[in-house]
Chain A
Amino acid sequence: MSLWEYANPKKFMELSGSVLPWVAGGSALCLVVGLIWGFFFTPDDFRQGSTVKIIYLHVPSALMAINAWLMMLVTSLIWLVRRHHVSALAAKAAAPVGLTMTLIALVTGAIWGQPMWGTWWVWDPRLTSFLILGLFYLGYIALWEAVDDADTAADLTSVLCLVGSVFAILSRYAVLFWNQGLHQGASLSLDKEENVADVFYYPLLVAIAGFVLLFLALVLLRTRTEIRRRRLQALLNRERMA
């Protein structure tokens, strides 16, 4: 019994098929509880007023935008090293979800920034590096779309993902050099005593769990679709040969 068993598409389909409803249901539950708790049952911040509540969308989506790229990096590596097709398809499936998370983070940030900073957009290091991350996602997705042969596309996008990761990190620190930020420091980190006040902290954790599960559910669903598409293509090819 090892993780690699699920590189077999059939095993993967069986497992993901039985897990998917639970993940999706858990995600819906966490999101409903977290967001309603956050929006209606937490006090307003004494300086930010009710705008503080956008944190329940902004922070989890930003978190997942970065983690989606991380997941694509790992699955790309697995594809390059062990040539498991499910892995490549999972990377392909995660990219649009990651791009959507990036856009949610940028848009909610802009909506919050307008009343608080008085501007929709500033060229702040964090905002800028997120925009660059969005561009990386766009290029990655465009490359998948542009290449006809499936294995070639998987290889090229994997190489692009590896190189892109290095440059994304490089850009992250280069923009720090370029401009000082307006964005506040990290809302959550593992090594601090208290991150945000507890009233905001618990619903935020629930919302984050909801986003993690939502990402999982979407990626599983999209990977299953990709596998089915691949099977359909194989059937069509076989028919044409016969």
Chain B
Amino acid sequence: MIALLRRDLAIATRAGGGFGLGLAFFLVVVVLVPFGVGPETDILRRIAPGILWVGALLACLLSLDRVFALDFEDGSLDLLATAPIPLEGVVAAKAFAHWLTTGLPLTLSAPVLAVLLNLPEAGFGWLVVSLALGTPALSVIGAFGAAITVGLRRGGLLLSLLVLPLYVPTLIFGAAAAARGSDGLSVLTPLAFLAGISLACAALMPFAAAAALRVNLR
């Protein structure tokens, strides 16, 4: 599994791996919002947690179809399916690699973009914490969506239609935690829910994703 993880990380960070693409997309979304809603700092401050969360979610979605598609096309997914490690483990390793190359950089770069949106200082820490707790769920749920759509033509569009409704609970609790943090309210409840969703998804979704992969590899 560790070898698989290192291989995926190497592929993702190499030139053409699309490593910076998600980050650049995140930046562009956040920069575009003030053009859309106007430059008043009060409005921006209020909507900043939500915008950052939605931006992170979309940036995460952007790189999802690469999780299995490349390996499916060149046949290495078949090899992985027959490898001694269970397919669930493969899914978990790939989702983790996806998180390391998308979720983690997004989390770390969020405070920089938060400055652009005038997020109050109190909110920075909670924003990072909420993203750190929530983005693993995004990666694992996304891996499930990618597993379902892996064999399809036009899979990318369908992937977003399937995955976005599944992201709703994560987004609600994540954005609520970040918003409460910036208002100086207690954030423990949404953070606990967010951590619960991430843990449950990480524990259970690999099984669903592996089941879908087995069907697609049949």
Residues of A within 8 A of B (CB): 132, 135-136, 138-139, 142-143, 146-147, 152, 155-156, 159-160, 162-164, 167, 170-171, 174-175, 177-178
Contact = CB atoms under 8 A, between A and B. Distances in A.
Nearest to B167: A167
Given A152-B218, A159-B215, A135 B173 contact: no
Contacts of A132: 165, 168
The secondary-structure label for the interface of chain B is helix
A158 B203 CA distance: 20
A146 B158 contact: yes
Contact of B162 (A139, A175, A178): A139
Nearest to A147: B152
Given A146-B154, A147-B152, A171-B172, 13 more contacts: A138-B161, A143-B148, A152-B151, A159-B148, A159-B212, A162-B208, A163-B205, A164-B166, A167-B165, A171-B168, A174-B169, A174-B173, A174-B193
A174 B148 contact: no
A177 B173 contact: yes
B110 interface: no
Given A143-B158, A152-B216, A178-B172, A159 B211 contact: yes
27 contacts: A139-B158, A139-B162, A142-B158, A142-B161, A147-B151, A152-B151, A152-B218, A159-B148, A159-B215, A160-B148, A163-B166, A163-B205, A163-B208, A164-B165, A167-B165, A167-B168, A170-B197, A171-B165, A171-B168, A171-B169, A174-B168, A174-B172, A174-B173, A175-B168, A175-B172, A177-B189, A178-B176
Contacts of B197: 170
A152 B166 CA distance: 22
Nearest to B170: A174
Interface in B125-177: 144, 148-149, 151-152, 154-155, 158, 161-162, 164-166, 168-169, 172-173, 176
Given A156-B212, A177-B176, A177-B190, A170 B161 contact: no
Contacts of A136: 165
A73 to B, nearest CB: 14
Contacts of A171: 165, 168-169, 172
Contacts of B152: 146-147
A142 B160 CA distance: 11
Contacts of A135: 161, 164-165
Nearest to A145: B158
A9 to B, nearest CB: 22
Given A138-B161, A159-B148, A167 B166 contact: yes
B161 A177 contact: no
A171 B144 CA distance: 18
A138 B107 CA distance: 31
Nearest to A176: B172
A142 B158 CA distance: 7
- The 9 lowest CB-CB distance pairs between A and B, nearest first, are A174-B169, A155-B215, A135-B165, A139-B162, A174-B172, A170-B169, A171-B168, A178-B172, A139-B161
A146 B154 CA distance: 8
A156 B215 contact: yes
Interface string B176-210: 10000000000001100100010000000100100
A173 to B, nearest CB: 8
Contacts of B155: 146
Contacts of A163: 144, 166, 205, 208
Q: Which of B152, B161, B162, B218 has the most C-beta atoms of chain A within 10 angstroms of its own C-beta?
A: B162
